[in-house]
Each structure stands twice: as structure tokens, then as C-alpha cells.
A and B are shown apart, each in its own frame.
Chain A
Amino acid sequence: MKYVDEFRDAALGRALAGEILGQLEPGRHYKMMEVCGGHTHSIYKYGIDDLLPANVELVHGPGCPVCVIPMGRVDDGIGVALQEGVIFTCFGDMLRVPGSNGSLLDAKAQGADIRMVYSPLDALRIARQNPNREVVFFAIGFETTAPSTALTLKRARAEGIENFSCMCSHVTIVPPLRALLESPDLRLDGFIGPGHVSTVVGARPFEFIPADYAKPVVIAGFEPLDILQAIAMILRQLAEGRCEVENQYTRVVPYEGNERALEVMAEVFELRPHFEWRGLGFISHSGLRLSEAYADLDAERRFSVPGVRVADPKACQCGEVLKGVIKPWECKVFGTACTPERPIGTCMVSSEGACAAYYNYGRFAREREVV
């Protein structure tokens, strides 16, 4: 595939792996977090961790927008989906995320009309085609997907489509990062910054990480060469004693972000005082809801969503796993109460979460050479 294969060149990959080796201080263990779930996916898909020496460890961060949705929020969604006349639409990978009593996929099996869409505009089209039904779009994602939800709501308003509404579960990236960094027991050397989020917000919002917490950040693309290069750039900062926000993904991410996208988000959304994250608890100003101007399109007002609060089981230690304080197997419920078939925390919900990966492959993790 043209314009894709070039970023997956194995020979260039080997060269970058060699460059990474050259940056390492003998005997030092490096731990860096890839913030975004898309990076985690690429790392697994291409076997990138297999190309790294064992003392360079990648920690999977809180940036999987699907896995961070708490159980109560899924329960609320199912509650709306089961109401008479509702067509409930959402992105595909949200369907499998468990609530306290099953997933949206289970609700679909029990008769709820739940449809997978690729874009919020698909949901709006369904509303247009079914004027006698109430079509709800369950909006999830970071700043990456929020602008497309915002534009869809603007279009619904402009076209006067009244049977469309949005159950907004959008989240923002900076508050959970700050929450992680505030933790006194954090053990991370640097961050691979989220590429897609940065196309919208730009690089500036991450400046606080080197400034306030003295950790390097490299915003990276999603192809395997992007990720290896970002790792090499973080290691070079560490080796040279530098600490700054660098942009590896310059072909897509401008420093200032996408001003028009930010404008439309500011018009349609407002910050919630606090939002609950699976495994991380409540984080202030970390979630978005529809602004007063768009209240009539807010499914939470239209359907009187109860706001179910289902506490994460106390024993779940996803927060510590995310901070790199403990290994998955050190969590009290790992492998017993919490398994991929019956996950409790965010790290087990996604097949790419740290706990699910360890559960499936831990015994067979290849001995990698320590440099």
C-alpha cells in the first residue's frame, strides 16, 4: 500500500532499534508510557516491544477511550438503549465493554436496537431515515473524536432533526495525565504523546509535563517507525539531559493544533465538574457534556439518565498498574476475580490493556536481552 508501507519498513525499523540501543546507559531501566490506546494497538500489532531491549519497558497509559468508561456509564447507556422506540448507536469497540450487568452487545441480544456506526454522521443519517424513532449517539473518545460529534450536533440543529440526541461521554487527555503525574509513587521516565489528540489540541497542552514534572514528551504517529523513532527521541533527551515536548508527528500535528476544531468544541461542549474513569476514579474537569446552547440535543436530559454509580471493586488496582507502581500480577484480584472473560478494571477490559496482555501472554513473554 502506497504511503503506508513506507512507514512499516523493516530495515529502517532495525536501524532505529540499533539507534535505541546506542542511547542506553548500561544497567539503567527505562520505563515510558504510551498515553494513547492507538499506540498500544500498534505496539502489539507490529510486535514493537519485541524489538526493544528488556530494560526499555513500555507502560500502557489511560488513553483508551473505550476502556476508561466506567461501569455505571455503560449501565446508563444500556438503560437508554432499552427504552421503547430508541435506536442506540455507538462505535464498534464500545459494544463489548462490560457494565455491572452485561455489555451493550448483551443488551442487543436481549432486543435493544443497538447499531454500530463508524461516524456520528452515520448516526444522524439513521435519525433522518427513521423519523419515528429516537436515535441516540453514545459519544466517546478524547479530543480526537469530540470535534466530529460537535459538527454532527451542529448539523442536526441546522437541519432541524429532532429525533436525534447525544449521550456525551467524551473525555479530555490532560486531566488524567496530570492525575497520574501528581502521584508521588509514579515511576516513569517519559511519555509517548498522543498523536491523534494532538492534531486537535496541538503540542502546547503538554508543555506542563516537562515544565512541572521534568519528564520528556514526544508526540508520535501510529506507524511502527513513528513509535520507534519517538522512543529513540525520548532516550536521546534523557541521554542529553534535555526535557521538553518534541513533535515526531510533524506531518500531521501543528504546534497550535486545529483552531477550528477547538472552536466548535467550545461552542457545543462544556466541562463537567468531574467525570469518573474506570480504574482511576473521579477526575475533576476531565469529561465533556453538551453546553446549555445544545441542551435540547442532550440525551441525558431527554431520557432522564439516572447517573448510575457503580463503584470499581475496592481490590482493583488499575491505578497503580497504570502508574507503573505494581505489575499486573501484583494486583489483589488479578487472575482470580478479574479475568479477560470477566474483567473488573480498565487494564483487563481492553485486550491490549496491561493486565489482559499479561494474562494472555505472561508465561510466554520472551526473554529479551538486557543492555
Chain B
Amino acid sequence: MTPESGGVMASRAPGTDREQKILGIIETARGKRSRFRDEHINMAHGAGGRATQSLVEGMFAPAFASASLLELADAGAVEVDGVGLALTTDAYVVKPLRFPGGSIGELAVNGTVNDLAVSGARPLALTLSLVLEEGMAADELRLEVDAIAAAAVDADAQIVAGDTKVVERGHADGMYICTSGIGRRDPRACLSPGRLAPGDRILLSGSIGEHGTAIMLARGEFDLAASIESDTRSLWPAVDALLQAVGPELRCMRDATRGGVASVLNELARSSSVAMLVREADVPVQPAVAGASEILGIDPLYVANEGKLVAFVAPDAVDRALSALRAVEGCEAATEIGEVRAEPPGMVLMQTGFGGRRVLDQLVGDPLPRIC
């Protein structure tokens, strides 16, 4: 009955032989690399949870086996004549194209820049592929091109190559964008999920759930209105400040996009075989986001962000890291939300605001609203 007592969820004392045998079977099945057994692709395969993981681990990784890809990081590492580079690519399919706080063009730059940034690489250059729907208004395209240009200037990354395709009316929802980015790995950075150790603290660069909620409301499927803006922004200034403040005491970072903070934590807990404990009361959520999530039956911890990072730092570095982060625009609400633990490996636990503890699990499918 003492929520703060140690030994979180210690293994249960040995039960009957049959119970132990069954638990053994489950553990063996869980430990295996995910297999891809579905007959069709459905929306869940793109939601960033367990289905996405089965697709990536079960189909892509075995086919393209490369050491860098197997790390499943946000950007891949490439070395050219002794210079460490990071390379990443991302596709953007957003409906509607413009939403409170941003648009698909801004997202396409920031998203790719952020994948480089959280890999500890200073963004250098981007490529841009546009897939346009026949009939798209030229003014609408011009708005997005301007948004792309402005975001690239802000992120200090040049657009150096591009491609355009037009598809028949009825496809591509107006436009799809694909950007690739190259960055130079910062010498101050020494980032790897393998460096996570029990005792490390989990920092969050600001309040969560704004981007995903803004998009959901902008689609107009729910008769709900709220002033929630997407948080899309470049995270390089935040990363730069963190590296300057704590250098190698920064263990690892992720940007909490699709699948939200909960998915990022689960991926890392699993790949690093550590546990994590999150304190729900310390996770910042804007009141409007909390209200919309409550009504829609969705947990903000699983909702996408486009300008928030999760950083793991050594315990001694917390104060320096937080003051550095809070000095950066957009990260004023940066805070510590939990810590890395040893047991039980691969799992993320949450101390709820109400005081109980529960497992903060991986998303199984698309986040679907509940009826009851």
C-alpha cells in the first residue's frame, strides 16, 4: 500500500508449475522479433504502435539488414571519409493541409529536421519531393511552398534538390510531401539507446498532445471547437542547448511524434532492456488538450507532437539540462517526468495522478475512441 516503496512490480513469488510454464511461453513469444503476419495493410500499420513495429521489424529490417537500420533510430548514421553524417527521410500525409498552428509544408521541413536533431546532428540540407493532386489550386501550392521556404530558413537547412509528380484527381488528398535530410553529427553528442542506465532521468521539452489534437479537431469530424495549435517547430535549438549544457551526460533523445510520448518510451525500454517509471502528474498537458482528450476518450500520452523531444540524462545533469532547455523558445515548460529503472525490463510503468500504478503499454492499433 505504499506507492513510493521500492522494487516496482517485483516478480511474483513462484506460483503453480502450470502458471510458470504459461508465463514462460508468453515470455518466449514476447522476446521474439515481431513477425509480420497480416494479410493486408491497415491504418494501424501507420499508427506507430505494435502493428508498425511488426511491419518494420518483420518485413523491412530483415530485407534491408544494415547495422544502422537495425537500431531503428530516427536517422541513420553514415560516415564519409571520417566525417560523421546522419541521414533521414519522411513522408507527410496530413488532412487537412492547413491546420491551426501550421501546415503540411512547415511540418515536412520541421519533421525531418527534428529526426536529424534528436540524433545529435546539425541539419545541413534537405531534398523535397512533391506529389500533387490534379486540380489543386495554384494559390494553395504557393502557400505551402512559402511555408517550406520559411521553415527551411528558420532551421538553417537549405533545400538542395527536389522532384514533382502529379497524380489524378481523387488521389493524394491535395498533396503529399516527402523530404530527406542530411546533417552533420555534432562532436558533443554521444547518443545511443544502449547508454540508458537505471537512475537516468526522463525529461520532456514541453506540454504534449497539441499537434495530434489540433489535427483531429481541424478535420471537423467532431463538433468540437477549441483553441489548440500544432506545436510544429525545429528542435535543433533545444538539442544544441542540451548538448552545450550537459554534453555526454545526455544519453539519448527521441522526438515524440506519431504514437506520442508513450510509444517513444516503450520503444526505448524494449530496445535497451530497461524499465521506465513515468509520473503522470508531472507530464504537462494544456487544459484545452486535456479537455478534448477527455471528451474523445484518448490519452494525450499517445497523441502526436511535432515539436517536443524526450531526453534521457544522467541524474546529476537534470538541473543544468532543464535550465538550458527552458531558455529555448518553445521549451519553457520543459520538465522531468520520470526515470529509468532496471526492473521489469522492457516495460513502462506509470504512477497515475490518482496514486495507483499501471503499465503504460504500447499502442496496439490506431488510437480508437471508446464507446464505454
Contacts and interface: CB of A to CB of B under 8 A. Distances in A.
A118 B372 CA distance: 11
A367 B354 contact: no
Nearest to A145: B371
A371 B360 CA distance: 28
A93 B368 contact: yes
A109 B42 contact: yes
A335 interface: yes
Given A46-B356, A363-B23, A330 B372 contact: no
A92 B371 contact: yes
A65 B354 contact: no
B370 A41 contact: yes
A269 B29 CA distance: 46
Interface in B319-368: 344, 347, 350-359, 361, 364-366, 368
Contact of B9 (A92, A110, A364): A364
A116 B369 CA distance: 9
Interface stretch (A10-18, A71-79, A304-312): A10-18
B371 A66 contact: yes
Nearest to A111: B40
B22 A335 contact: yes
Given A96-B368, A105-B365, A360-B361, A51 B355 contact: yes
Contacts of B347: 364
A109 B353 contact: no
B282 interface: no
A363 B372 contact: no
Interface residues of A, number: 65
B290 interface: yes
Contacts of A110: 40
Contacts of A48: 354, 356
Nearest to A351: B364
B44 interface: yes
B187 interface: no
A161 B56 CA distance: 46
Contact of B372 (A65, A106, A109): A65
Contacts of B287: 1
Interface stretch (B11-19, B76-84, B201-209): B11-19
B26 interface: yes
Interface in A76-105: 91-96, 102, 105
B359 A50 contact: no
A93 to B, nearest CB: 5
B159 interface: no
B63 interface: no
Nearest to A122: B221
A47 B39 CA distance: 36
B357 A366 contact: yes
Given A46-B352, A363-B344, A196 B372 contact: yes
B296 to A, nearest CB: 8
Contacts of B355: 10, 13-14, 47, 51
Interface string B285-301: 00100110010000100
A158 interface: no
Given A50-B356, A329-B18, A364-B359, A92 B29 contact: no
B3 interface: yes
10 contacts: A10-B355, A14-B355, A21-B1, A47-B351, A50-B357, A92-B371, A105-B365, A224-B354, A329-B19, A367-B10
Interface of B: 1, 3, 8-13, 18-19, 22-23, 25-27, 29, 39-44, 222, 287, 290-291, 294, 299, 344, 347, 350-359, 361, 364-366, 368-372
Interface of A: 1, 4, 8, 10, 13-14, 17, 21, 36-38, 41, 44-51, 53, 63-66, 91-96, 102, 105-106, 108-110, 116, 118, 140-141, 144-145, 196, 224, 327, 329-330, 334-336, 339-340, 351, 359-369
